[in-house]
Structure 1
Amino acid sequence: MNSHKEFLKVFPVFSIGMGFILMLVCILADAQTFASNELRWAENRKLSWQDFTGTVDPIRNANVQAVAKVAIDLTTKAENDTVWFEVQSSFIKNGSWTINRTSDYLLQHEQLHFDIAELHARKLRKRLGELRGLTFSNLRQKVHAVYQDLQKQHENFQQRYDAETNHSNNQRMQSVWNSKVEQLLIQWENYNDPLVHNTIR
């Protein structure tokens, strides 16, 4: 079969709660080079306050001390009888801001938003690797459907996190969520490789 590539780019942005912005990005194209203001999730690279380079929202809620902006990026390349998916979770520096650069506790709350993005990136990798009946004609539709479903799951999960922790103000629930997300990342560890492939007809 001849080499074939599809292109689709979607940038929906959602405002989650009061202290988090979710940007879920779906790119069906050749691999893109990340801009210098984006950090890819890595187990041994935690966020620091220096990563929050965005401008503080002048009309922010008085209870909000920080906002983290994260993204899930999907790059897809289809060639011959194989389709490759690269799924990355990233932190957008210039879209994230804080008025408190001393609280390790608050920083951990924002880190968990990033970890939740990685958790859903792993779920997306699994879903894409298990897609069946892919053809060049239905690739765009099938990938987009999976993306939309995952997008909603991610959005709901992030909203629930901020609601149950009251944006980190509920310390008991923050501790519960810290443990919960840590365990979920371990459960989905088999999907920590950004690259996954599938067969296309």
Structure 2
Amino acid sequence: MAQFTTNVYWTEQTDMNSKDVIYYSKNKPLQWPDFKGTPPPPSQVAAITASGFGYKADMKSVNGKGQINVAVYCYFSKGKSWVRPNKMTTYILTHEQHHFDATYLAAKMFIDKVKSLNLDGDNFNEALKRLYKQCCDTMNKLQQDYDGQTMNGQNETQQQKWNRFFDERIALVTK
């Protein structure tokens, strides 16, 4: 079997419209002007953060050795994210930022797991798809738990607990 190395890295080079996305950066938190979408008819929902992560992978031969490259990105969609004009508070913005943080944590988990896999030319596509699905499932559960326990940010005590959780986790993974 040929020897393979795996190169996993963050990228902002995607097919996504650069005017519509913000790539995750710990040093550039979301701001209300980033929420460009139009709110649907009146409801109890104050704001929505549309975020996600993805990857691109390829394989090539370098000096007779196989190299698998996995580029990972984590993004916020400006056009699909929205806020009601009368709800632009710092408190709600923090809640929305943590949805983006949850997405980043899932993307980081994906990177860490990819680095621990022994990928080869035969299994890398299927292994990456399986791992991506696992990390998306974990992210979706985290997002649901977050909104469920905070009652979409309305339970301030729970929101404070989750604020600490996300602040600590993000600090750990962005050292």
**Same fold, TM exceeding 0.5?**
yes
**Aligned residues of 1:74 and 1:87 also touching (Cα < 8 A):** yes
Counterparts of 1:50-199 in structure 2, within 5 Å, are 50-58=33-41, 62-80=43-61, 81-99=66-84, 100=86, 102-132=88-118, 134-189=119-174
Deviations 1:98-146 (A, max 9, x none): 11353111011000000111111111100111111x2222211111110
Q: Partners in 2 of 1:189 and 1:52 — Cα distance?
A: 24
2:9 aligns with none
Q: Partners in 2 of 1:102 and 1:117 — Cα distance?
A: 22
Shift of the alpha carbon at 1:185? 1.8
SS at structure 2 position matched to 1:184: helix
Q: Partners in 1 of 2:68 and 2:171 — Cα distance?
A: 27
CA RMSD of aligned residues (A): 1.6
Q: Partners in 1 of 2:153 and 2:166 — Cα distance?
A: 15
- Number of residue pairs matched by the alignment: 158
**Aligned residues of 1:165 and 1:174 also touching (Cα < 8 A):** yes
Q: Which runs of 5+ in 2 are unaligned?
A: 3-12
**Aligned residues of 2:35 and 2:79 also touching (Cα < 8 A):** yes
Q: Partners in 1 of 2:14 and 2:32 — Cα distance?
A: 26
Q: Partners in 1 of 2:96 and 2:14 — Cα distance?
A: 26
Q: Partners in 2 of 1:47 and 1:55 — Cα distance?
A: 17
**Aligned residues of 2:59 and 2:68 also touching (Cα < 8 A):** yes
User: TM-score normalised to the size of structure 2?
Assistant: 0.84
Q: Which runs of 5+ in 1 are unaligned?
A: 2-30, 191-201
Q: Percent identity?
A: 25
1:32 aligns with 14
Shift of the alpha carbon at 1:32? 2.4
Deviations 1:135-193 (A, max 9, x none): 22221111111011111100000000000110010111111101101111223236xxx
Shift of the alpha carbon at 1:72? 0.4
**Aligned residues of 2:32 and 2:93 also touching (Cα < 8 A):** yes
Task: Identify, as 1 or 2, the structure richer in helix.
Answer: 2
SS at structure 1 position matched to 2:98: helix
User: TM-score normalised to the size of structure 1?
Assistant: 0.74
Q: Give the letter aligned to residue 170 of structure 2.
A: L
Deviating beyond 3 angstroms after TM superposition, the runs of 4 or more aligned structure 1 residues are none
1:193 aligns with none
